[in-house]
């Protein structure tokens, strides 16, 4: 064997850098062992993610990330407090430790890459930045090869979608990580429990001029998932095309010892840039009546129900009488087009049955704001004409529907919409949407979005069960607000329930339906049923009182698919919602979150016969304080809703 001079012996570079959360519990470490860029994550010193590789797939170029060395690192910290017009807490604290790694390839063409990381007490995040450089003035990504190698075979709650062109409306599964099939396309967020280690959810934040991310099993290692980017609708071989520098979205790992800690987290909005709207005083969250649920049905009225002026005014009167801030006019108000799902409509003209000036005058007289529904195709085609016109009419917001994509073009469409809408003082609710990414921090006129299989599915299926509702709080809601459209008062047991379009039912008890308003986050919250279904119902007092924005959120306890208790504060008042799945559940509810002083708790709970008569509730008042322990008994599909106010 011929010995080489020492200087000629190839050296395998080994460099590593790490950053810990402010409390020291969470740590993310990066390495380039054998040139491959990779990371690990630990929680309280225990492995959470083992060595997970990182790389970018660039068209007609080698993998960027397979032969790297760390050139230099820079550690720092972030400590800021900001306010939001809406959210789960206010003010919001953004406190973390940061790390920037500048990397370079160890061989030609010596491309450069930057990785930014943040470590929070409730999770970690990192993103790629491809700098401008001679060989990469334009970046054309065919994919991204980010691995998530969990430390053990976890229990997961995946949302498995058919393809990249969906509305994120499906049931969450309950599977071991190793049981996810290689061909399954898993949407974000993905919740996982690593017994004895932590709860973790994988999602993303600040998607800007990039494609949405999904996960797939790699098929070889039962603990490993890889990123998949939504392909371009125009060129399926490409996911992202942009001039450098290009920053990927943040790849987010929400981490906690209990699943409720993930619900309380603001990490997704904290990873987004500050608000671009200087004066947010016109952004006013609230509750709304909605004609779509039962707009073609009414009792004891002197008009024919449907998409007409009389029906819309009827819903406006209902909003005014019940202190609801808004009325949402759904599909059919505009001059009809020829496309599917009411697309091809002219948003600058109304249907012959709709007298928009009269409706808006009636709403103004009743101090009720009006929202309008629109198909995204029509918004894309008429945005520059329609938004100024809506502002002139006095419209408060627009619900935009049927996008069903999160490729790069559609991601940029969302941003164009909220920016143009802000110029005309319009709030936005995206339906047929992908999951939230925290865009509402930068553009707070985005008040909510769908991206969830909500109550509308009761009209044609039995899929929206109490089990599903409990699971949503721990899965989809981790990404941000969701327009689930609660408020159904035609409550039914599992045996009684039948899907129907006219006078639709909802599964679970009346107390369960009330509790959704405290459990589910949305700054624009529906009161979905037709007005007559609320007449004379004492439970309507809770809906009138419950806010849609919060100063503090505390998850008392719970487990996905089984039960949950969430307490939310607005001022000195608290609203507590508890939900159970189909199994009857009894839990203790400590009120330690109340702080000092005495309070009056107005409690709406399942009646003793709620398992047979789900509309029956028991309403009672109790004097309580922080040392009080309430015992909650929930029927199958049951719940409990509590309004707590200071004792005077």
CB 295 within 8 A of CB 311: yes
Can you give the three-state secondary structure of 37-99, one letter per residue?
Answer: CEEEEEECCEEEEEEEECCEEECCCCCECCCEEEEEEEEEEEEEEECCCCCCCCCEEEEEEEE
Which of 487, 86, 564 has its CA nearest to residue 282?
86
Q: What is the pLDDT of residue 296?
A: 86
What is the reported pLDDT for 242? 98
372 within 8 A of 399, measured Cβ to Cβ = yes
| Phi and psi torsions of 285, nearest 5° | -60, 165
Nearest to 172 by CA among 153, 195, 192, 152: 192
Cis peptide before 91 (omega within 30 of 0): yes
Q: What is the mean pLDDT of residues 475-479?
A: 98
Instruction: Say yes or no to pLDDT of 455 above 50.
Output: yes
User: Is residue 7's pLDDT more than 90?
Assistant: no
Q: Kindly state the DSSP code that residue 428 receives in the 8-state scheme.
A: E
* Residue for token pair 């396309």: 185
- Cβ atoms of 141 and 240 within 8 Å: the answer is yes
pLDDT for residue 219 is more than 90:
no
C-alpha angle 345-348-354 in degrees, rounded to nearest 5: 80
Burial level of 96, CB count in 10 A (0-12/13-18/19+)? Answer: buried
What is the rounded average pLDDT of the residues 421-436? 98
Q: pLDDT digits over 560-616, tens only? A: 999 999 999 999 999 999 999 999 999 999 999 999 999 999 999 999 999 999 999
Tell me the C-alpha distance between 42 and 44, whole Å: 7
Structure tokens at 622: 């109790």
pLDDT at 530 over 70: yes
Residue 558 has pLDDT above 90, yes or no: yes
Q: Please give the Cα distance from 180 to 161 (Å, whole number).
A: 12
389 burial via Cβ count (<10 Å: 0-12, 13-18, 19+): middle
501 CA to centre of own chain = 27
Cα distance between residue 577 and residue 563, in whole Å: 11
pLDDT in tens, 494-520: 999 999 999 999 999 999 999 999 999
Q: What is the pLDDT of residue 220?
A: 80
| Percentage of residues in the chain having pLDDT higher than 90 | 94
In order of 198, 316, 527, 538, the CA distances from 530 in angstroms are 44, 12, 9, 16
Which CA distances in Å does 248 have to 102, 168, 209, 322, 446? Answer: 15, 22, 9, 45, 22
Q: What is the mean pLDDT of the chain?
A: 96
What local confidence, expressed as pLDDT, does residue 337 receive?
81
What pLDDT does residue 15 have?
A: 58
CB burial readout 514-526, b (16+ within 10 A) else e: bbbbbbbbbbbbb
Q: Is the pLDDT of residue 254 over 60?
A: yes
CA atoms within 13 A on the CB side of 439: 25
Which ranges of 203-350 does DSSP label H, i.e. alpha helix? 259-264, 267-270, 309-321
Cα angle vertex 213, ends 526, 160, to 5°?
65
Q: Residue 8: pLDDT above 80? A: no
33 phi and psi angles, rounded to 5 deg: -60, 125
Global model pTM greater than 0.85: yes
| Nearest in space to 627 (alpha carbons), one of 602, 603, 597, 605 | 597
Residues present in the chain in total: 648
| pLDDT tens profile 633-647 | 999 999 999 999 999
pLDDT classification of 471: cutoffs 50, 70, 90: very high
Q: CA-CA distance, 390 to 85, in Å (whole number)? A: 22
Residue 11 predicted with pLDDT over 70: no
Structural domains in the chain, CATH included, are 13-270 (2.70.98.10), 284-451 (3.20.20.70), 453-522+546-648 (3.20.20.70)
**How distant is the alpha carbon of residue 538 from its chain centre?**
31
**Beta bridge partners of residue 524, listed in sequence order:** 286
User: d(Cα 175, Cα 157) in Å, to the nearest integer?
Assistant: 6
Q: Is 4 a residue whose pLDDT tops 60?
A: no
Per-residue pLDDT, averaged over 119-134, amounts to 98
Residue 147 vs residues 228, 239, 251, 520: alpha-carbon distances, Å: 10, 18, 10, 31
- Give pLDDT, residue 294: 85
Kind and range of the H or E run holding 473:
helix 466-474
d(C-alpha 480, C-alpha 466), whole Å: 20
User: Which residues are CB-contacts of 537 (< 8 A; sequence separation ≥ 6)?
Assistant: 489
Residue 492 confidence (pLDDT) = 98
**pLDDT at residue 12 greater than cutoff 60:** no
pLDDT band at 300 (very low <50, low <70, confident <90, very high): confident
Distance (Å, rounded) from C-alpha 494 to C-alpha 458? 12
Query: In the 8-state DSSP scheme, what is residue 248?
Result: P
Q: What is the pLDDT of residues 36-88, one digit of tens each?
A: 999 999 999 999 999 999 999 999 999 999 999 999 999 999 999 999 999 99
């Amino acid at each position: 064997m011929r010995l080489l001079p020492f200087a000629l012996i190839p050296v395998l570079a080994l460099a590593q850098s790490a950053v810990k959360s402010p409390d020291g519990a969470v740590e993310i470490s990066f390495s380039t062992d054998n040139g491959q860029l990779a990371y690990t994550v630990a929680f309280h010193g225990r492995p959470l993610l083992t060595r997970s590789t990182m790389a970018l797939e660039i068209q007609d170029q080698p993998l960027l990330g397979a032969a790297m060395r760390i050139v230099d690192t820079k550690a720092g910290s972030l400590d800021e407090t900001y306010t939001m017009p809406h959210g789960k807490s206010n003010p919001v604290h953004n406190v973390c430790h940061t790390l920037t790694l500048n990397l370079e390839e160890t061989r030609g063409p010596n491309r450069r890459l930057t990785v930014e990381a943040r470590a929070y007490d409730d999770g970690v995040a990192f993103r790629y930045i491809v700098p401008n450089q001679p060989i990469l003035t334009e970046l054309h990504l065919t994919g991204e090869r980010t691995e998530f190698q969990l430390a053990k075979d976890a229990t997961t709650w995946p949302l498995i979608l058919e393809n990249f062109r969906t509305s994120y409306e499906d049931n969450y599964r309950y599977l071991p990580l190793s049981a996810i099939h290689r061909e399954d396309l898993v949407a974000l967020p993905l919740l996982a429990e690593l017994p004895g280690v932590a709860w973790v959810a994988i999602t993303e934040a600040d998607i800007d001029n990039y494609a949405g991310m999904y996960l797939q099993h790699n098929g070889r290692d039962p603990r490993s998932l890889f990123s998949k980017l939504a392909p371009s609708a125009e060129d399926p071989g490409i996911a992202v095309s942009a001039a450098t520098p290009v920053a990927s979205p943040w790849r987010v790992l929400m981490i906690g010892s209990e699943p409720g800690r993930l619900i309380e987290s603001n990490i997704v909005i904290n990873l987004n840039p500050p608000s671009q709207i200087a004066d947010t005083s016109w952004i006013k969250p609230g509750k709304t009546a909605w004609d779509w649920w039962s707009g073609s049905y009414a009792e004891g009225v002197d008009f024919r129900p449907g998409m007409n002026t009389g029906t819309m005014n009827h819903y406006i009167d209902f909003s005014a009488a019940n202190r609801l801030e808004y009325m949402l006019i759904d599909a059919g108000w505009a001059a009809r087009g020829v496309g599917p799902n009411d697309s091809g409509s002219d948003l600058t003209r109304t249907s012959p049955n709709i007298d928009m000036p009269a409706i808006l005058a009636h709403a103004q007289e009743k101090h009720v704001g009006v929202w309008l529904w629109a198909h995204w195709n029509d918004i894309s085609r008429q945005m520059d004409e329609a938004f100024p016109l809506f502002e002139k009419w006095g419209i408060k917001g627009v619900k935009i529907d049927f996008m069903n994509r999160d490729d790069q073009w559609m991601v940029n469409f969302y941003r164009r919409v909220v920016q143009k809408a802000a110029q005309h003082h319009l709030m936005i609710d995206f339906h047929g949407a992908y999951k939230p990414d925290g865009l509402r921090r930068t553009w707070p006129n985005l008040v909510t979005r769908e991206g969830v299989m909500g109550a509308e599915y009761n009209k044609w299926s039995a899929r929206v069960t109490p089990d599903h509702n409990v699971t949503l709080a721990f899965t989809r809601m981790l990404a941000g607000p969701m327009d689930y459209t609660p408020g159904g008062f035609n409550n039914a047991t599992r045996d009684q329930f039948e899907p129907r379009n006219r006078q639709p039912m909802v599964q679970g008890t009346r107390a369960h339906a009330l509790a959704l308003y405290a459990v589910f986050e949305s700054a624009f919250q529906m009161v979905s049923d037709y007005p007559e279904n609320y007449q004379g119902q004492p439970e309507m007092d809770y809906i009138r009182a419950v806010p849609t924005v919060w100063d503090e959120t505390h998850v008392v306890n719970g487990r996905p698919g089984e039960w949950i208790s969430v307490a939310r504060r607005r001022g000195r008042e608290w609203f507590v919602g508890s939900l159970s799945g189909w199994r009857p559940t009894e839990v203790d509810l400590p009120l330690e979150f109340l702080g000092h002083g005495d309070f009056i708790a107005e409690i709406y709970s399942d009646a003793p016969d709620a398992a047979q008569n789900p509309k029956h509730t028991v309403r009672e008042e109790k004097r309580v304080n922080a040392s009080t322990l309430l015992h909650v008994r929930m029927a199958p599909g049951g719940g409990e809703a509590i309004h707590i106010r200071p004792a005077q």
